Structure formats: C-alpha cells, structure tokens
Structure 1
Amino acid sequence: MIQVYSDVISFRGSHYDFGYKQGELLKDSPILPNRNKQWASRKKRHFVVNEERAIKLLTKFLPGIMDELQGLADALGWKLEDALKEFGGYYVEYGRSGCSILTGPTFFIRNYDSRPDSYEGRYVLYQPSDGGYATIGPSMQITGRMDGMNEKGLTMGYNFINRIKSDDGFVCNMIGRIILEACANVDEAIEVLKEIPHRTSFSYALLDASGKSVVVEASPRSVVARDSNISTNHFEMLTEENRYRMDDSIRRQNLLQAHRKGNINQAFQMLNRTDNEVFSKKYGAWSGTLHTAAYAPEERKTWFAIGADRMPVIFDFNRFLQGEKMNVKRIKGELDYHTPFINMELL
C-alpha cells in the first residue's frame, strides 16, 4: 500500500494569471521532471503539433486557453510553442485506461481507472474573470480536465475506447475542459463534440442540471449521441470502433445496470467499495481505480475520494462561486500499489 494525495488548487481571475500561478506551482513540483522522464522516448513522436491549426482551434472553442498557456510559459521561462506542445491537448496520446460512469437524475458518479504514475494529483477550482464558466474537477495535462462540473451544473466524464486509427485532433482531457468551460447544458456540449476534431475514440458521459443524461460516442471519423445513464469502455452505436476484447467493460456495465436506481450515496458506494467488483486494483495494466468522483448538479456539490472504501471529501461549489475561500488544501488516499502519483517523488 502507498499513501498518495491530490493538491487542491483554487483560483479566481484571468486566464493569463491562472496560467502564471500554475506555472509558479509547477516550478516547485515533481510533476514536470517526472513526466519528462516517463515520456522522453515518446516526445518526438507524440508531441508534434500543427501549431497554427492548434492555436486556431483553441481560440475558437476556448479563447482564454491561449492566455493561460502564455501565462504558463512566462512563469516557467518557456516559449509559447513549448507550452502549447506540453499543455495544449492537441495531437498527444495517452496510455489506455478503464473507467466506469453511472448517472441518475440528480447525480453523476465516476471511477477513473489508469496507472498511478500517470496521474497528476491536482483537483482544481477555477472561476475565470475574462469569459467562460467556472469549473471544478481533477486536471490532466495541467490544463485539461478528466471529469468535472461547471457553474451551470453541466457535468462531464470520459471513457477510453480505442486509439487505433487515430487522427489529428484534441485529446480527451482538453475536450473535457472545453465542454465544461464553454457549454451550459448537454445540448450545447453535444454540438461542440460534433464540431471539434478528436484525436482518438472516447465516450463522453454528460449530465446537466435539468437531469438530462447522454453518452456521446466520439471517434476521429464519427460522433453520435444516445440517451443513457451508464458508460464503460465500449461503444454501443459505433461498434466498428471498439477494441477486440470488451469482456471487462461489458461486465462492469452489467453490474452498474443492476444498481442504477439508487441515490447518490448508494451509487458512490457501488463504485468505490471493493466488494462491489467495479473498483479495480489492476494498476499495472492501466486499469486500476485512482479516484471516485461524484457530482450533484442541482446542488452544485462534488464528492471526491482517492482509493477504495473511502469517505469522500465534499466540496460545496456554490460557496466557491460566492467568493468563499476553500479550506481543503489536500485530499489524501491510499492505493494498493508501489508507485505514487507524479506530483510526488517517484520511488
């Protein structure tokens, strides 16, 4: 067992100032050195971007992100193009991962499954002063979001499907950030997902404050939406995009189907308790559960736990939106593995 944690980062202000603040935090963090070690052999192949196209698309879908990238670059003493490659979320691949999502009319529960040494350990609350909706959720690639909720109650989480036949486009976490900061409801998010270029195949589960729940199946070739309250790691409509082996994805889907009528607490326990067989400890295979996140769009509250059989830390997002200071600085947890998150010194 190893002790791990996520740092809680809260900020109100312009995108540039937010980027600069994050850059200052990164200078004193192991995140960048650890990531450079892990990705050194892949950078030449996976960190190539069409800069002009990436900037054009980022400016279109999330205008403030270029200011955030400039702030990151200035704080780190980098060129903007280097920040774009590291944090722009365009044309970068990640390792495979699992993940399970269950929604109800008033809640959204998600297990994020991957390897601990790919996880940044950052839980971010951001209220922009220069455009875009305030958001809350865990980060990926610093600027991206792997799941989260915005001030309108729109909630998003994604599930990996396949990276075969990938194409130029945005990766899942930047798409998640764009959805949360630019869209007020499920319908607006669907329109963005149909317009934005996708690097690889992912499902995006969406729930808004009205209780509308959909799963959007997105690949570089096609995007379709279906009404659903369950998402694992296979497509129901774009079946030609699925991986050859889907046994575990279907197994988790069936388990969630049997428990889809509970309340938020029952749903959270369903995903977080090890005896329910949805929580996974397969960390070496990129499919161990790192966090369980819950979102209540109507109440604007979020729950977050790292590791199995945990009591969640609960955030009242409304209080943050009203200007209150967040007292929680770190969310602690424990994993049945030997390698920590990359915000810690790797063993």
Structure 2
Amino acid sequence: MYHGRFKGTHYDAGFKWGQQLLKFGKKLDFCPTFELTKEKYEFAQQCAEQYSMYFPEILEEIQGIADGNEVHAETLQCILLSMYCFEFDNKCTCFAFCTDNEIVFARNSDFLVSLEKLYMNCIYQLKDSCSFNGNTTAYVQMEDGVNQHGLAAGLTFVYPRVRKPGLNAGMLTRYILEKCSSVKEAEEALHRLPIASAQTITLADKYGGIAVVECNPEKITVIRPQQGKHFVATANNFNSPQMMAYRNPDIDDWRSDDRYKTALTALQNQNEYSVEFAKSLLAGKYGFMCQYDRKKNADTVWSVVYDLKRGQVWRAEGNPSRKKFKEDARMKFV
C-alpha cells in the first residue's frame, strides 16, 4: 500500500498530492476499473450539485487534485462521484463487537489483485475537520477508517438496483470519518444526506455503540445487536427484512453469504472476544473469509482491526492469512 499524509485545506491537500503524482508521471485522466461514459459524466454532474450543498469541501479537494495533476476536474468527478453507482467490483466483510472489556471494529477489503499496488493508507489532518486514519482503493473516498474521536466506519458494497444523485458509499464513509464523533452522529448524518448508491456501513465508537446501516437511495435500516448479543456483521448483501427486495442473487458477489455466515457463526459461538480473535476471523481461521484464488484476480488486499478501547490501529497490508497485522500508531486519539 502507498502511505499518504494530507494536511492544510482540502484544496491544498489535493493540489499537493496531484502535483506529486504528476512529477512521477502519473496522470489521473482515466479509470482502470470502468469506462467513463456520457451517462456517468451526466450523473456525476447531477451528484456534484448535491455535494456542493452537503459536502463542498470534497469538490474543493477534487479541484485541487485536478489542478495539481493538470487534468480536467470533470474527469475526476466522473470517476469519483459515479463510482459505486453503476458497476459491482469490490467486495468486503465487516463486523464489530462490544463487551465490558473490548470494543472492536474489523474489516477485510477484497478487490482486484491487478491493482493491489495502487491501494492507499491515508492520514488526514485537514483544517476544520476530524483527523482520521483511513484506507482506500480510490483516492479521496474512504472504504474504512477510524478518526481521532474513536469512531470507526467501513463500507461493504451492494449491487446497485437503484441510483440517485447524492453521496456514494466511499464518500459517505469519508463524510462520517471527517464530520462525526459517535455512532449516533453518523446515523443522523446518513439519515440526512442524499444517498447515491447501495451499501452497508458498519459503525463502532469508543463509547460502545455498534451498528450496521443498510441503505440505498430509497430506504435506510439500522441493525443493532440482538438482545443478549454483543456483535453485528455484514458482507456484500442486505440482510434485514426491509432491504431484502434490493438483493440480486444473479451477480457474482465473491461468496458474500458464505463470508457473512462465517462471521456470524464465529461471533455467535465465541466466549472471549478480543483483538486476536478478530484478526483470526479475518484471516479465515473460522471458515471461508479470505481464501480466494489469486489466479482469478481476486484477493483480500488489506485487513484492519480498530481497537477502540485502547485507541490502537492494526493493519495487514495484504491477505491476513499470509500477512501479519502491524500496529499503526501515527494518529493520536483524543
């Protein structure tokens, strides 16, 4: 993974990064995973109107990247604002648990092996925003992270049966990390923001709040631990009765239901929840989770465990069945 630090205003942080890429001969005028069509340009333009009202700082950061990289801002907007709304590419698994002794968020990010050298870990310390440590396959957007207040968030993508101009999965996660300090605030934000794509967002905070939010442009449902239980879990499908109609059994979701059942069964049968248990579950020691065939261009490309009780970040930069988790102590929690 690349490691980046972003400071100052949104525009300045974007400009510096875009300029650095240009110096190394990297231009951001194309997308390696999907074609930039007229439909996507038009949809991104409609989304930009929503961002200008709800998250204008992101548009400033995108403009900074475009200026620094000497590309058109409209091209970057097409890539970043239409993402998650048309194609079904990345897969992932999230879970969180809370007991008297542990508050843990954990996530596997599953994606294309061919792009694994492009994935980024980011430390953001921007003006008038929460600092956070996050991971992404698409600069600016975040797939998971934890902020200075001890709020962790992570997405899992769901096949988009419907779309509407608004914030997509990666931007919703970024907004939460940058603007919220608790699960309650994150839930309120998701109910307030216009949503463009279909996804689940798993949340956990240092106060012991944990939840999975299943949402798309038409509906939003919050899943909390069942009575007497201490956990939530999700993969690349909706599981609540309210959202089942938006599932699509015909697409290749990289065994999403198998991963979900593995996590659910392990969490249900566990007596002692711990960071080490979370790492083992992500590493596939309780059933199918990350055991992909890399020859088919699929693998777990990073794993994270956020220990919110102790303010610790653990990350495996690659498949956790082969790569060790290492602590990242660069971000300071308040």
Q: TM-score, normalised by structure 2?
A: 0.83
Q: Secondary structure at the match of 2:129?
A: coil
State yes or no: 1:44 paired with 2:38.
yes
Distance 1:29 1:230 in 2: 40
Distance 1:286 1:97 in 2: 12
State yes or no: 1:250 paired with 2:245.
no
Letter in 1 for 2:124: Y
Q: 2:245 aligns with which of 240, 245, 249?
A: 240
- Structure 1 residues 122 and 30: CA distance shift in structure 2, 3 A: farther
Is the 8 Å Cα contact of residues 40 and 82 (structure 2) preserved in structure 1? Answer: no
The corresponding residue for 1:266 is: 277
Q: 1:123 aligns with which of 113, 121, 124?
A: 121
Q: Please, which runs of 5 or more residues in structure 1 have no aligned partner?
A: 1-5, 323-347
Letter in 2 for 1:265: E
Is the 8 Å Cα contact of residues 166 and 199 (structure 1) preserved in structure 2? Answer: yes
| 1:126-158 deviation per Cα after TM superposition (whole angstroms, max 9, x unaligned) | 1112x1111111123211001111111111111
State yes or no: 1:156 paired with 2:146.
no
Post-superposition offset of 1:64? 2.2
The corresponding residue for 2:204 is: 207
- Structure 1 residues 299 and 20: CA distance shift in structure 2, 3 A: farther
Distance 2:278 2:181 in 1: 25
Mean Cα deviation higher: 242-251 or 200-209: 242-251
Aligned-residue identity in percent:
20
Letter in 1 for 2:94: I
- Structure 1 residues 137 and 195: CA distance shift in structure 2, 3 A: same
- Structure 1 residues 62 and 135: CA distance shift in structure 2, 3 A: farther
Is the 8 Å Cα contact of residues 50 and 166 (structure 2) preserved in structure 1? Answer: no
| 1:256-289 deviation per Cα after TM superposition (whole angstroms, max 9, x unaligned) | 1232242011211221246742113145767531
The corresponding residue for 2:188 is: 191
Q: Secondary structure at the match of 1:104?
A: strand
State yes or no: 1:231 paired with 2:226.
no
Distance 1:91 1:100 in 2: 16
Say what the alpha-carbon RMSD is for the aligned residues.
Answer: 2.8
| 1:185-237 deviation per Cα after TM superposition (whole angstroms, max 9, x unaligned) | 11111122123233332111111111111010101210111104111122222
Taking the TM superposition and a 5 Å limit, the aligned residue runs for 1:3-18 are 6-18=1-13
Distance 1:33 1:79 in 2: 9
Q: 2:21 aligns with which of 26, 31, 50?
A: 26
Question: How many residues are aligned here?
Answer: 313
- Structure 1 residues 75 and 31: CA distance shift in structure 2, 3 A: closer
Post-superposition offset of 1:75? 0.6
Distance 2:207 2:62 in 1: 33
Q: TM-score, normalised by structure 1?
A: 0.80
The corresponding residue for 1:314 is: 327
Mean Cα deviation higher: 26-35 or 208-217: 26-35
Post-superposition offset of 1:184? 1.2
Letter in 1 for 2:211: V
Post-superposition offset of 1:89? 5.4
Structure having greater relative contact order (Cα 8 Å, sep ≥ 6): 1
Post-superposition offset of 1:242? 1.1
Distance 1:58 1:190 in 2: 19
Distance 1:90 1:273 in 2: 29
- Structure 1 residues 288 and 181: CA distance shift in structure 2, 3 A: same
Distance 1:89 1:183 in 2: 24
State yes or no: 1:297 paired with 2:297.
no
Q: 1:174 aligns with which of 171, 175, 179?
A: 171
- Structure 1 residues 211 and 277: CA distance shift in structure 2, 3 A: same
Post-superposition offset of 1:296? 1.6
> Moved runs in structure 1, 4+ residues, more than 6 A?
none
Letter in 2 for 1:75: G
Q: Secondary structure at the match of 2:255?
A: helix
Is the 8 Å Cα contact of residues 113 and 280 (structure 1) preserved in structure 2? Answer: no
